[in-house]
């Protein structure tokens, strides 16, 4: 029997780093979770345990902290670029490096309506994401967001769908539509203004979600992606995942009550799953 | 051997209900998770399996949905009162009922800065909580919040503490202080304006957290509770739990770098734990 | 306004420690998560930030590791006793200490049926728990287990229960009964053989759960507690919580199929909740 | 601007189904979580909201329950095949279907050492997994396992690795090695004995993990995959992921104590990440 190794990579997961900057106008707090992966000339380590090409993942962890201290950056994309380039540039055995940076956003506290210069809250489940795939040949940069839980209370239906012998679902002229949005987009180059692009894409996705006359999740997902590509010239493709997080109307008729889509039971599982990738031609 | 049963209760946990109200000025979406417990004359069910006193927990679930449809309420405290009173009033075997209502807040989406009438986001991990303990003799109502993650980037130290032979911690003149705040307060009566009290107490807690010149978590916790009691006359006691969620400064000296409290490593465990209950005399 | 502090405590949560012992006959691996709390003369720290009575929670963490190295112990109860006594005995300001020790069990791997001397798996979600409340006056020791997910496929019904106008549940002569068992018991003294008592109590709980002709969760819970008290003389009381984790029969009649309790839909929420405390008189 | 859709799929996630079979010799309980995805002629639904090709995901949920009732199957792979084939065979718009079946294993209870015919426990976090990708052209079947937490207390080192200016890790002649194993393998055909192959592959992975003289995680991962391919002829490739779940030796020297790799601090993050895919040539 001959065995070949068709793929291998290694790295460090979940390196958490917080960077606090003090300033008379107010402090800033940035928190990232970082994943590093490298591919390259590492097969001998697998075959024989020869570690001479293997930079410890502990060093990768140190590197995250050191580069966070040495460099200024204002976006997860920028930090992911610094990291991925570092490993390829400094390690001849690493042909390719991947850096994933996930931001847990800290926002200023505003008790009583006034923004506080040194008080913060990690208010949201939403995560901003960045991903860089860097090698001598090519640098791919992606931005995105995940775990953004959104709902529209009207202007959403699902009707005239395909029916088979196992179908019991009825047409719904109007229903609550909820999802936990994940979107990622590819930047046309590593030199764009990531924060401006993020703001444009995120706003387009949310505005379209809320406004759209939805005939299905698919229908709204496509409209959202289309609008993001329209308004954010910095990106040339967008992938969107929209699980359909169901909120089931409760049948109150056994108790002599109607239920005009008012009382719903949210369930975590099962959920629908809808995804698509849209490209600018 | 004689065995006695010194305590028993039963009920339903995690009944999730969403109530959507449509209005020309904009819809509203409220989502609660409800726990019901009853105590009373239920021992025979344990001893012999005689279920004639046992209302099914499935009926409790139905009741949550039915009462959500039948009643108007504008706070988790109000809904918890409706529920706890229902079981004691309608079931002779239930001497006492407990209702816990936890709100997952939905807020209006504001893509591009303009509030949307029918688009919502479940933006925060923070939960608003209500608890009612109701019997023929007494009705206790508590409000509160949990999982409110907050941080102050300055004005926090910890020095001159007790040292023993196992102490390695150094005095810290300034440090980042972070916590996941849980607070609950008892209302002086079931007739107060719960939402007004909630807003006053929450604002007092956050304002004091952010402003306080903190000599320890204990010190700040007490100041927060004191301010909540000062500004919210509707409450007569407050219990606060403030785990110290550590963000450890990374030692960069092996790499020839200083670290002026800028690069920190957030850790989930272990965490300090500080709690106290303050009462208005 | 006068404010009083009616209760306060502090400590350290989630200190994780693993102790590995090497031996020619085979190694042992023990993993605990430890919580420490102290109560005592600590109010001044809350009032004024005077930390002179406050032993840092960081020192408590160190103490867990140091005492794990210095002492031999063969149960979580024994380690909890060592810890709680340490703080009360060595710190005049600590009147009372609480130690909670939760074990994540590691078991020997047995690939191919043969037990391996140095290979282990953390095979189960079940946690063994110990709790000590120690002061100069009294020492309470509790043992227990949590998150033990169990199911019986027959010999469980729920019938002839109380019905009100909101009841839709039908009598069930037989149903699947599943729960995530939590049990804790108080030891008659701190000098008993904790491991022997644990084994007897756990076996009694499981044997009775599996064998019982169940007329309700309450009915089975009581029988389980009664048997534990019967067989484990070392314990004088037991508290049991048995959420009813529902597995709902799926209605297949719309598709021309029957469903003799064969195809079920497990749901995580809502769940029933049943609890009781039994004491040996 | 022209926009194209380069990829789309939809389906249902987390359909949970339990199948209970009663028998005089003892009952059986099988619990699966199922994901269904289809690809095909669905673009018009995205573009215009035309749902005439769109089978509701609610129907997919029904189908899981119906096919679980109609068919006998003895492995997650077999059920995944039934599901994936159903959608492609019955829906002309579905060119390709993917079914992922994850088993939560229920094992017989053995209180007091005797196996019980109707008492079960969901004892383990380990999940058995199956994945089928089916179209008119090709049927790919994969088996595997995930979340299998294992540890070896000796025979594991990491030395003579690459060092750069950010490296602080020291050579370790011996260390505790722990991981949460994920492995998946591709079957040579859809007609093999899945359960026999699963048992052989799993035993090979665990036996090799426990026995191997490990010079690195990479080294052990490769040996494990090699052995799985050797003993399980039914599979022609295996992908393994082994995060390095660190258990850090605690430095007790400040307290005048040594620590011969005995007292360790388990941490959840960060963790190393090692993966590879091995193929039989």
Whether the bond between D263 and the residue before it is cis, its omega within 30 degrees of 0, is: no
- Among residues C94, C118, C137, the one where a domain terminates is C137
Per CB-CB distance under 8 Å, the chain D contacts of B269 are 268
Which one of D38, D220, D222, D243 makes the best mutation probe of the A interface by having the most chain A beta carbons within 10 Å? D222
Of the candidates C165, C254, C267, which has its C-beta nearest A168's C-beta?
A: C254
In a domain, C35, yes or no: yes
Per CB-CB distance under 8 Å, the chain C contacts of A269 are 268
Considering only alpha carbons, which residue of chain C is nearest residue D256? C66
d(CA C110, CA D247): 23
Alpha-carbon gap: D244 to the closest alpha carbon of chain C (Å): 15
d(CA D121, CA D29): 10
Judge: B121–A152 Cβ closer than 8 Å, yes or no.
no
Residue with token string 């102790």: C19
Judge residue B2's burial from the number of C-beta atoms within 10 Å of its C-beta, 0-12 exposed, 13-18 middle, 19 or more buried: exposed
In a domain, A97, yes or no: yes
Mean pLDDT for chain D overall: 97
* B222 CB-near residues (< 8 Å, 6+ apart): B276, B278, C5, C46, C47
Are residues D54 and D158 both part of a single domain?
no
pLDDT at C149: 97
Give chain C as a 3 state SS string: CCEEEEEEEEEEEEEEEEEEECCCCCCEEEEEEEEEEEEECCHHHHHHCCCCCCCCHHHHHHHHHHHHHHCCCCCHHHHHHHHHHHHHHHCCCEEEEEEEEEECCCEECCHHHCCCCCEEECCECCEEEEEEEEECCCEEEEEEEEEEEEEECCCECECCCCCCCCCCCCCECCCCEEEEEEEEEEECCCCCCHHHHHHHHHHHHHHHHHHCCECCHHHHHHHHHHHHHHHCCCEEEEEEECCECCEEECCCHHHCCCCCCCEEEECCCCEEEEEEEEEEC
Of the candidates A11, A59, A169, which has its C-beta nearest D56's C-beta?
A: A169
Beta-carbon neighbour count of residue D140 at 10 Å? 14
pLDDT at C252: 98
d(CA B222, CA D206): 53
φ/ψ (deg, to 5) at C201:
-65, -45
Query: Which member of C134, C200, C245, C246 is catalytic?
Result: C246
Q: Grade residue B97 by pLDDT with cuts at 50, 70 and 90.
A: very high
Under 8 Å between Cβ of D20 and C175: no
In a domain, B3, yes or no: no
Judge: C13–B279 Cβ closer than 8 Å, yes or no.
no
In a domain, B217, yes or no: yes
pLDDT at C112: 83
Q: Which of B103, B95, B96, B58 is CA-nearest to residue B79?
A: B103
The yes-or-no answer on residue D246 being catalytic is yes
| Average pLDDT of the segment spanning D216-241 | 98
Are residues A127 and A164 both part of a single domain?
no
d(CA D134, CA C214): 45
Judge residue D193's burial from the number of C-beta atoms within 10 Å of its C-beta, 0-12 exposed, 13-18 middle, 19 or more buried: middle
Q: Please give the torsion angle defined by the CA atoms of residues A208, A217, A268 and B83, in that order, rounded to the nearest 10 degrees.
A: 70
Q: Which residues on adjacent β-strands are paired with residue B36?
A: B12, B99
Of the candidates C50, C163, C273, which has its C-beta nearest B13's C-beta?
A: C273
Judge: C277–B51 Cβ closer than 8 Å, yes or no.
no
Q: Please give the torsion angle defined by the CA atoms of residues B120, B122, B126 and B127, in that order, rounded to the nearest 10 degrees.
A: 90
d(CA D213, CA D228): 17
Considering only alpha carbons, which residue of chain D is nearest residue B270? D267
pLDDT at C172: 95
pLDDT at D123: 78
pLDDT at C275: 98
Judge: B153–A207 Cβ closer than 8 Å, yes or no.
no
| Average pLDDT of the segment spanning D193-222 | 98
Judge: D68–C106 Cβ closer than 8 Å, yes or no.
no
Q: How far is CA C269 from CA A265, B111, D1, in A?
A: 11, 33, 47
Query: Which member of A19, A57, A219, A239 is catalytic?
Result: A57
Of the candidates A168, A254, A269, which has its C-beta nearest C168's C-beta?
A: A254
In a domain, D120, yes or no: yes
Are residues D161 and D280 both part of a single domain?
yes
Residue-wise pLDDT for D126-146, tens only, equals 999 999 999 999 999 999 999
Residue-wise pLDDT for D89-140, tens only, equals 999 999 999 999 999 999 999 998 899 999 999 978 999 999 999 999 999 9
Considering only alpha carbons, which residue of chain A is nearest residue D171? A56
The yes-or-no answer on residue C12 being catalytic is yes
Are residues D146 and D81 both part of a single domain?
no
Query: Which member of A61, A86, A212, A246 is catalytic?
Result: A246
Structure tokens of B71?
């009643």
Supply the CATH number for residue A218's domain: 3.10.270.10
Are residues A123 and A259 both part of a single domain?
no
* D27 CB-near residues (< 8 Å, 6+ apart): C153, C154, D20, D21, D117, D118
Q: Which of D211, D221, D199 is CA-nearest to residue D275?
A: D221
Judge: D65–C265 Cβ closer than 8 Å, yes or no.
yes
Beta strands B139-152 and B127-135, pairing class: antiparallel
The subunits that touch chain D, with at least 3 C-beta pairs less than 8 Å apart, are: A, B, C
Alpha-carbon gap: C215 to the closest alpha carbon of chain B (Å): 5
Residue-wise pLDDT for C242-264, tens only, equals 999 999 999 999 999 999 999 99
d(CA C279, CA C225): 9
Alpha-carbon gap: D27 to the closest alpha carbon of chain A (Å): 27
- Among residues C104, C119, C137, the one where a domain terminates is C137
Structure tokens of D246?
């660190």
Are residues A96 and A166 both part of a single domain?
no
Mean pLDDT of successive 10-residue stretches along chain A, which has 281 residues: 95 98 95 98 98 98 98 98 98 97 96 92 93 97 98 97 98 96 97 97 98 98 98 98 98 97 97 98 86
Judge: D257–C154 Cβ closer than 8 Å, yes or no.
no
Q: How many beta-carbon pairs below 8 A join chains B and D?
A: 10
Are residues B116 and B163 both part of a single domain?
no
Judge: C54–B216 Cβ closer than 8 Å, yes or no.
yes
Alpha-carbon gap: D112 to the closest alpha carbon of chain A (Å): 37
Considering only alpha carbons, which residue of chain D is nearest residue C113? D203
Are residues C148 and C279 both part of a single domain?
yes
| Overall size of chain B counted in residues | 281
Are residues D151 and D272 both part of a single domain?
yes
Are residues D170 and D280 both part of a single domain?
yes
Per CB-CB distance under 8 Å, the chain D contacts of B170 are none
pLDDT at A19: 98
In a domain, A1, yes or no: no
Residue with token string 């700040």: B220
d(CA A146, CA B261): 30
d(CA C54, CA C56): 6
Are residues B93 and B161 both part of a single domain?
no
Per CB-CB distance under 8 Å, the chain B contacts of D269 are 268
d(CA D117, CA D120): 8
Per CB-CB distance under 8 Å, the chain D contacts of A278 are 3-6
In a domain, C3, yes or no: no
Considering only alpha carbons, which residue of chain C is nearest residue B2? C281
Count of domains forming chain C = 2
Domain of A98 in residue numbering reads as 8-137
Whether the bond between D270 and the residue before it is cis, its omega within 30 degrees of 0, is: yes
Judge: C209–D119 Cβ closer than 8 Å, yes or no.
yes
Are residues D131 and D179 both part of a single domain?
no
Alpha-carbon gap: B115 to the closest alpha carbon of chain C (Å): 33
| Average pLDDT of the segment spanning C214-233 | 98
Q: How many beta-carbon pairs below 8 A join chains A and B?
A: 180
The yes-or-no answer on residue C246 being catalytic is yes
In a domain, D3, yes or no: no
Per CB-CB distance under 8 Å, the chain A contacts of D91 are 162, 164
d(CA C43, CA A215): 62
Per CB-CB distance under 8 Å, the chain C contacts of D102 are none
* ipTM rounded to 2 decimals: 0.96
d(CA D259, CA D171): 17
Q: Which helix (H) or strand (E) holds A229?
A: helix A217-231
Mean pLDDT for chain B overall: 97
φ/ψ (deg, to 5) at C206:
-70, -40
Of the candidates A166, A267, A269, which has its C-beta nearest C255's C-beta?
A: A166
Of the candidates B12, B55, B221, which has its C-beta nearest C273's C-beta?
A: B12
- Among residues B137, B158, B175, the one where a domain terminates is B137
Considering only alpha carbons, which residue of chain A is nearest residue D33? A270
Judge residue D47's burial from the number of C-beta atoms within 10 Å of its C-beta, 0-12 exposed, 13-18 middle, 19 or more buried: middle
In the predicted structure, residue D1 carries a pLDDT above the cut 80 = no
């Amino acid at each position: 029997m001959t065995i070949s190794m068709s793929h291998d990579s290694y790295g460090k997961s979940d390196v958490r780093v917080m960077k606090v900057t003090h300033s008379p106008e107010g402090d800033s707090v940035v928190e990232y979770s970082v994943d590093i992966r490298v591919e390259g000339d590492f097969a001998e380590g697998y075959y024989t345990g020869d570690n001479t090409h293997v930079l410890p993942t502990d060093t990768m962890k140190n590197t995250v902290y050191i580069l966070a201290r040495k460099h200024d950056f204002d976006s997860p994309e920028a930090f992911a670029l610094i990291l991925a380039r570092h490993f390829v540039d400094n390690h001849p055995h690493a042909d390719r490096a991947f850096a994933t940076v996930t931001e847990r956003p800290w926002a200023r506290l505003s008790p009583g309506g006034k923004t506080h210069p040194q008080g913060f809250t990690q208010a949201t489940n939403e995560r901003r994401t960045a991903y860089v795939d860097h090698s001598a040949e090519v640098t791919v940069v992606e931005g995105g967001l995940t775990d953004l839980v959104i709902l529209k209370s009207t202007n959403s239906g699902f009707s005239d769908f395909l029916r088979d012998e196992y179908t019991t679902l009825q047409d719904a002229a109007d229903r609550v539509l909820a999802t936990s949005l994940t979107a990622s987009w590819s930047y046309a180059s590593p030199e764009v203004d990531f924060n401006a692009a993020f703001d444009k894409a995120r706003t387009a996705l949310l505005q379209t979600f809320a406004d759209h006359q939805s005939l299905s999740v698919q229908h709204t997902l496509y409209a959202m992606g289309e609008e993001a590509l329209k308004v954010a010239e910095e990106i040339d493709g967008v992938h969107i995942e929209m699980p359909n997080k169901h909120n089931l109307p409760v049948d109150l008729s056994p108790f002599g009550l109607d239920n005009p889509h008012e009382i719903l039971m949210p369930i975590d599982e099962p959920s629908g799953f809808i995804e698509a990738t849209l490209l600018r031609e």
